[in-house]
Structure 1
Amino acid sequence: MSPSPPRATDHVADLAAFVQASPSSYHAAAEGARRLVAAGFVEQDEAAAWDSSPGGHFLVRDGALIAWRVPDGAGPTTGFRVLGAHTDSPTFKLKPRPDLGAWGWQQLGVEVYGGPLLNSWLDRELGLAGRVALSDGSVRLLRTGPIMRIPQLAVHLDRAVNDEGLRLDKQQHTAPVWSVGHRGLSVLDHLAEVAGCTRAEIDGYDLVAFDTAAPAVFGPHGEFFASGRLDNLSSVHAGLVALLASEGSEHIELVAAFDHEEVGSGSRSGAAGPVLADVVSRTLGALGATPDEQHRALARSVCLSADAGHALHPNYAGRHDPANQPVLNGGPLLKLNANQRYASDATGTALWRRACRRAGVPTQEFVSHNAIPCGSTIGPLTATRLGMATVDVGTPLLSMHSARELAGTEDPGSLSRAVGAFFALGG
């Protein structure tokens, strides 16, 4: 049987701590690595000989984290149980030459990353987080405090906004203010101070905006959980908790937390890149697998692609399928799509139901309204690249791609329990 999971309240509290430690994909990978090291996992240097010894291993590639446990007695045809997720979220990325200003204001040039709900980022105290590359070749993570805000135009100056709707120009209306009355001030000076270096030492940066408000549990029965980056840190966290709680299985258990899913996954740390295939092939190779044996191992492998999905919105019920209407705290989603935007099929569905029964958690189906095409996930990419059987699942949310998304307090822990049961399934 899978190990006893933490209570829902404890799981959500730990998820909140994980989100707060992970304002960027680079921080998420670092926080995951910190937890793995504390549990005895060993970091794999990609430039070194591959370690296939029994036990826990991990690597960090930019904003991606891959962690796996090799069981005792693993051989060249041992299969994998993979939990795939992603570390990035829709946001704004700091542009080169970021300092803007007019009429006494100091503003920042930012570029839209992915598909955020733009209006949800208005009137929030935002920080910047990510990494800076220095002239000596080193890389440092940094995060600021609340230093900027995208202020909305007052209703007195836009009398039609509540009747005709808010329309935001991505260039003109999203530049945050970060100071006033300090002409000549550069955000790079502030970032250098936070990073503990000089401005001249910063040769490059990957920095994104994040909402500095803390996650919160609320509702008369504590049934709601509001936080930034639940899409998709809720899945990353669920996978790590399940992996660290696992008592081992006959398979190689693996959590793949990719970067850049929100912009198509096309990078060396994204699901369309080589990182998962590299780990799989090098692990099997170090176990002595021939090319044929590697294919046999992949034929025994399964991936759960875990990404947040849509709960029914009570104010927009007509946007959802009339028969499949998942709700918060109704259990993690099984995501299905006839056009293969999700990779789930009948056999994958049956495997997922087995895992949920073993874990003692409910599950719900999500399928799109026919007139409203759904997005996609890393699931079809993984199935296509590796030929691995893949099932798409995830935590139901409202306000997906908002700066502050909404989950139920029961569902994240239920997902983690189901993932733990999936890792333990034989066959």
Structure 2
Amino acid sequence: MPASPETLAHATDLAAFVEASPSSFHAAAEVARRLEDAGFTRLDETASWPAAAGGKHLVVRDGAVIAWVTPASATASTGVRIFGAHSDSPAFKLKPKPTTGKLGWLQAGVEVYGGPLLNSWLDRELRLAGRLVLDDGTTALAATGPLLRLPQLAIHLDRDANKSFSLDKQSQTQPVWGLGESASADILAELASAAGVDAARIRGYDIVTADAARGAVFGLDDVFFASGRLDDLASVHAGVVALEAAADGFDADHIAMLAVFDHEEIGSGTRSGAAGPFLSDVLERLWISLGADREHQLRALAASWCVSSDVGHSIHPNYADKHDPVVQPLLGSGPILKINANQRYATDAQGAAAWNRWCEAAGVNSQEFVSNNSVPCGSTIGPITATRIGIRTVDVGIPMLSMHSARELAGVSDLWDLRRVAEAYFRQ
């Protein structure tokens, strides 16, 4: 069945969102920009917060952002519906003294961030993006255009390349970005120019690579969407679009919240990660603004839900033996409910039932995902949030192929369906 106009419009908007979000810091800024344009008020963590009843607010902490809509009827024990996702993606990160090179080539000194499929980064035009911290402590976001490339060795020089292939993470992953001598070049100056600041003022930086190609719809009947950083910007985008839509005339009996964390790909153990205090800090201040004491806060937590949304695996036609032989979610057949007996995903029976209710309310089909017993699964922010906050949590997402590739593959209809369920979840 051909993709509907609204489904294609959503995919087109996602492509623009990903392009505007080459780093976690840019993703948080883009979420904030979109929501501020929709009438949300940004709060400063160092300032006092106003009473939140009837308000739309957000707060940014580094590469993370939390936004919420509070109904006018909210009380000190009103629960919260959290849609959680993460802003970071596997990549390469600039090291100290990043301008390197040899044999007439300029190269960038990088370190592997997270668990990328290294070979997928070869022969692609790459951007650099992230934040620069200046001598006065201020921060500037920086993003270049296509600047770097990891050129693959020609098959004439490695006749066994199609038999076995691996990259040394130190010696064979340093991208080229120009010709010349490193002593007379400065890759930080390129970033400073992109940010409109003086390179001499840079005192610190968090800079990563990003695939420069824009997301694209393709395939028979426009069923596919390919893009970098769909893990997990697909979920972030679904959440922000759904929250913006739900905020219009919001009158539910709970607070609707989008929580986007950084550093999920490296374990979440930072001040802006899911294992840090960001969410608990925001929840406590939010409930305090509504007059809550500790008793009220515990009651509100008991009435709350978190939907942890991250990508999962579609059945792969060329590697079917890597998947469960019975439970085989397929790209384009709906969002997935992620289940693991060892609680690598936080879904339990209550969570499964709740997720299915929200899908039914949205008119969306849902699929289940479970790993092959011989191929252990990863994890998400879900178990971390459930453990840190004590909130009922369910793990969901969209099925995809090429996870952790520089360019991942999703189903156009799944992207739209996830956004629809997210809105139903916020509104119900």
- Please tell me the TM-score bracket, short chain as reference: over 0.9
- The yes-or-no answer on 1:319 pairing with 2:318 is no
Q: Work out the CA distance in 1 between the residues paired with 2:354 and 2:198.
A: 54
Q: Which residue of 1 aligns with 2:382?
A: 379
Q: Which residue of 2 aligns with 1:110?
A: 110
1:23-67 Cα offsets, whole Å, 9 max, x none, are 000000011111111110001111111222312100000000100
1:333-382 Cα offsets, whole Å, 9 max, x none, are 00000000000000100000000000000000000000010000000001
Identify the match of residue 417 of structure 2 among 414, 421, 425. Answer: 414
Q: Work out the CA distance in 1 between the residues paired with 2:230 and 2:38.
A: 24
Q: Which residue of 2 aligns with 1:366?
A: 369
On the 8 A contact 2:53/2:73 being kept in 1, the answer is no
Structure 2 residue runs of 5 or longer lacking an equivalent are: none
Identify the match of residue 395 of structure 2 among 387, 392, 401. Answer: 392
Q: Which residue of 1 aligns with 2:228?
A: 228
Identify the match of residue 258 of structure 2 among 255, 259, 262. Answer: 255
Q: Work out the CA distance in 1 between the residues paired with 2:19 and 2:8.
A: 17
Where do residues 167-246 of structure 1 align in structure 2 (5 Å cutoff)?
167-183=166-182, 184-246=184-246
**Structure 1 range deviating more: 195-204 or 137-146:** 195-204
Q: Which residue of 2 aligns with 1:12?
A: 11
Q: Aligned partner of 2:393: which letter? A: T
On the 8 A contact 1:143/1:194 being kept in 2, the answer is yes
Q: Which residue of 1 aligns with 2:63?
A: 63
On the 8 A contact 1:71/1:252 being kept in 2, the answer is yes
- The yes-or-no answer on 1:305 pairing with 2:304 is no
Identity of aligned residues (%): 60
Q: Work out the CA distance in 2 between the residues paired with 1:86 and 1:47.
A: 24
Identify the match of residue 342 of structure 2 among 339, 347, 356. Answer: 339
Q: Aligned partner of 2:56: which letter? A: G
Q: Which residue of 2 aligns with 1:46?
A: 45
Q: Work out the CA distance in 1 between the residues paired with 2:307 and 2:14.
A: 20
Q: Which residue of 2 aligns with 1:351?
A: 354
Structure 1 residue runs of 5 or longer lacking an equivalent are: none
Q: Work out the CA distance in 2 between the residues paired with 1:99 and 1:251.
A: 51
Q: Work out the CA distance in 2 between the residues paired with 1:272 and 1:140.
A: 26
Q: Secondary structure at the match of 1:49?
A: coil
Q: CA deviation at 1:100?
A: 1.2
Q: CA deviation at 1:182?
A: 4.5
On the 8 A contact 1:66/1:254 being kept in 2, the answer is yes
Q: Secondary structure at the match of 1:221?
A: helix
On the 8 A contact 2:101/2:181 being kept in 1, the answer is no
Q: Secondary structure at the match of 2:220?
A: coil
Q: Work out the CA distance in 2 between the residues paired with 1:28 and 1:394.
A: 19
Superposition RMSD in Å: 1.1
On the 8 A contact 1:23/1:129 being kept in 2, the answer is yes
Q: Aligned partner of 1:92: which letter? A: F
The count of aligned residue pairs is: 420
On the 8 A contact 1:215/1:227 being kept in 2, the answer is yes
Q: Aligned partner of 1:77: which letter? A: S
Q: Work out the CA distance in 1 between the residues paired with 2:257 and 2:197.
A: 37
Where do residues 80-91 of structure 1 align in structure 2 (5 Å cutoff)?
80-91=80-91
Q: Which residue of 1 aligns with 2:127?
A: 127
Identify the match of residue 270 of structure 2 among 267, 270, 280. Answer: 267
Q: Secondary structure at the match of 2:284?
A: helix
- The yes-or-no answer on 1:288 pairing with 2:287 is no
Q: Work out the CA distance in 1 between the residues paired with 2:343 and 2:114.
A: 21
Q: CA deviation at 1:185?
A: 1.3
Q: Work out the CA distance in 2 between the residues paired with 1:61 and 1:260.
A: 12
* TM-score of the two chains, using structure 2 as the length reference: 0.97
Q: Secondary structure at the match of 2:221?
A: coil
Q: CA deviation at 1:6?
A: 8.3
Q: CA deviation at 1:415?
A: 0.5
Q: Work out the CA distance in 1 between the residues paired with 2:244 and 2:368.
A: 28
Q: Secondary structure at the match of 1:348?
A: helix
Q: Work out the CA distance in 2 between the residues paired with 1:6 and 1:81.
A: 29
**Structure 1 range deviating more: 49-58 or 270-279:** 49-58
Q: Work out the CA distance in 2 between the residues paired with 1:190 and 1:34.
A: 25
On the 8 A contact 1:6/1:413 being kept in 2, the answer is no
Q: Work out the CA distance in 1 between the residues paired with 2:329 and 2:19.
A: 27
* TM-score of the two chains, using structure 1 as the length reference: 0.97
